[in-house]
Amino acid sequence: MALYSSFIVVVLTMAVLALAKHSPLLAPQLYWNSVLPYTKMPKAISDLILQPAGNATFLPRSLAKSIPFSSNRLTEIFKHFSVVEQGSFEANTLKETIELCERPGNKGEEKYCTTSLESMIDFSTSKLGTRNVQAVSTELLEKGVIKSLCKYTVLPGVKKLGGDEAVSCHRQRYPFPVFYCHSTKQTASYVMFMKGVDGEKVKAVAMCHINTSGRIWHMGTVPGLTFSTWKAECLGFHSDVSIWHIATGLTFSPSAPFIDIT
């Protein structure tokens, strides 16, 4: 998180704060409310609307588009963010993020790096073919006494998100929020609640890439780790990833012998 804040220049912060003074809602939130009035904003996104201490905030699309974002313009980008040494950690991080965004997607993957919340909304809804969408992310519900990864138990009541197509948006290391968004088909996404041995409670989001037409029966994960079932490869997501689905409602998955995850 320190990387994000260390890059932010005064002119960007002042521009965003100036917008806030003229309206109780920033441009990104106004756009969300107008395009997705019935969609609850996930924490991975709402945390970036108003700038919390030590973190970056979404830039309005017009401002984000005015900032160069291309490997052909790295010199301008370094100058914009006051990166003096081209071989420094900061310079390499900027370069790697841009190169990732410019890299061709995998076979069958449609990808796009969004530099604003408005562009994330437009990409996600266009790939899902509707504005009747649901967006979710992993959230910490209650802190535990251990400030490190511990053993978790997946609680009964795993909920499956509707549909077999999703858009996932992963935050990248950059001075302001940039997300690598890509659409995936033949997936099954779940929301589950987990409890750590130290009392920590988490609402976790996981996505399973289905290898066959069979159903998924076992679900359980620690955010950011991978695991396998007899029908799929599944990914758990950190709290800075949002998963977008067509809003067809949540359904409970079949009862299963839930496992402990360490």
What pLDDT digit, counting tens, does each position of 192-251 carry? 898 888 888 889 898 887 753 443 333 333 344 444 444 556 777 888 999 999 987 544
Burial (CB count <10 Å: 0-12, 13-18, 19+), residue 89: exposed
- What is the C-alpha to C-alpha distance for residues 201 and 139, in angstroms, rounded to an integer? 9
Whole-model pTM? 0.78
- pLDDT at residue 96 above 90? yes
| Cβ contact 209:233 at 8 Å | yes
Q: In what order do the strands lie in the sheet with 165-172?
A: 110-114, 178-185, 165-172, 241-246, 133-136
- pLDDT at residue 51 above 80? no
Answer with the residue of higher pLDDT: 121 or 184.
121
- What is the C-alpha to C-alpha distance for residues 32 and 113, in angstroms, rounded to an integer? 18
DSSP the chain: -HHHHHH--HHHHHHHHHHHHH-SS-HHHHHHHHH-TTSPPPHHHHTTTS--TT---PPPHHHHHTS--SGGGHHHHHHHTT---TTSHHHHHHHHHHHHHHSPPPTT-EEEEESSHHHHHHHHHHHHT-S-EEEE--EEEE--S-SS---EEEPS--EEESSSEEEEEEEESSSS-EEEEEEEESEEEEEEEEEETTS-EEEEEEEEEESSSSPP------TT-EEE-SSEEEEE--TTEEEEEE---EEEPPP----EE-
pLDDT, tens digit, for every residue of 101-155?
A: 999 887 778 999 999 999 999 999 999 999 999 999 998 887 765 555 667 788 8
pLDDT, tens digit, for every residue of 19-48?
A: 334 444 578 999 999 999 999 999 999 999
Amino acid at 49: I
Answer with the residue of higher pLDDT: 68 or 1.
68
Domain boundaries, the chain: 2-261
pLDDT at 10: 34
| Residue 133: C-alpha distances to residues 40, 146, 165, 248 (Å) | 9, 36, 11, 8
Q: Which pLDDT band, with edges at 50, 70 and 90, does 5 fall under?
A: very low
